[in-house]
Amino acid sequence: MVRKAKVEFDEQPPDNFDPKNPYGDPVAMLEYREHLVREKWIQIETAKIIRERLRWCYRIEGVNHHQKCRHLVDQYLEATPALLLRLRVLLFLDWRGDLILPSN
């Protein structure tokens, strides 16, 4: 018995999935759903890895972590778009939750 070096997945959604009629082919619909879940888990795990590296960088760099770990912060914010959206919303809210509009 021979083992493969790595597990291979199809990186593309199934070809026969029709978004206009998702229930037309139930097998293609399930394959498409599995594809979406797999892609989401890859994004989540990537963000976790970057977060662990960021924690390590904060501990090691100490006082200079603002300068030395900035690239990891940028990567983490790109890897977590929902967190970035919440951060942008919070920047425009005051302590009561009222919207602050920038004045020109």
Give tens-digit pLDDT for 48-95.
999 999 999 999 999 998 899 999 999 998 888 776 666 666 666 655
User: What is the C-alpha to C-alpha distance for residues 83 and 99, in angstroms, rounded to an integer?
Assistant: 18
Length, in residues, of the chain = 104
Q: What is the pLDDT of residues 19-44, one digit of tens each?
A: 888 788 888 888 888 888 888 888 88
**pTM exceeds 0.75 for this model:** no
